Amino acid sequence: MRAKRRSGQIEQRRQPRAHLLIIECDSRKLAADGLNLGRAFGRLVKTVFPEKRISIVQTFSEQKLTENLADVFREYGRVRSILMVGHSNEAGLVLTADGLRSWSVVGNWLQIFEPEFCFLAACRAGKSEAVRDLFKPIKTLRQIYACPAALYKNQTPPLAVLIGMLLKDGKIDEEVSGALRLVNYVLTGGQLYRWRRAETGPGEEVKGRLLDGVASLFDQGTWDLLERLLPRKHPPS
């Protein structure tokens, strides 16, 4: 009996990963702000990729979230990629209506799914402090895509394109990803960082702070401020 049970556990662990888990954090608040993008995006990708295993969770309280994630895990097991939509800053994410939770706590909630990719549609979630804390509890996590500055609704399409690329091809083309993120900045002022685990490990703190500084410098709000502060040259009349 013991051998059979062990064999069953190994078989369950080796089952293919589900493709995508979408978590819309504090859904009522996002809906009130017109930012409840997770459910709409989930319906879209289920239509475009009907053969993919995709799950959508809208959060309300932590107690309910515990039940919802347990249900997802029972049905799907491990998940290759996770998209989280919510209000946040570099210190943490408003995971549910119960309030802000640190990124390390968010990582503790997600680690059971053993994701490889994480996409964060949330403000300042791409800061080095945030991604470092998210990587720590999730040992399987390879890449995080997130904005290191304020994120606006019109700046989120590149996340959708990258997720679509991953669902379609099973990988993200780095050249296409880089070009897409550059074009997004030129057109909308939106920044999107791609972080690898090795880029947030010991000895990488200085580089992380440098990238944080670059994000602040190139934040569209910063450029608007500079335009107001610096005198403009007017053509002679």
pLDDT reported for residue 14: 61
Per-residue confidence (pLDDT) for residue 236, from 0 to 100: 40
38's enclosing H/E stretch is: helix 37-48
pLDDT, residue 219, reads 73
pLDDT at 208: 60
Residue 131: predicted pLDDT: 95
pLDDT for position 218 = 65
Q: What is the pLDDT of residue 213?
A: 66
HEC sequence for 15-28: CCCEEEEEEECCHH
In the prediction, which pLDDT does 4 show? 45
- 50, 80, 197, 86: which is closest to 134 by C-alpha? 197
The CATH class for the domain spanning 13-229 reads alpha beta
pLDDT recorded at residue 16: 85
What residues in the chain have per-residue pLDDT under 50?
A: 1-12, 222-223, 225-230, 232-237
Q: Count CB neighbours of 164 within 10 A.
A: 15
111 burial (CB, 10 Å; 0-12 / 13-18 / 19+) is middle
Residue 121: strand pairing partners:
85
pLDDT at 75: 94
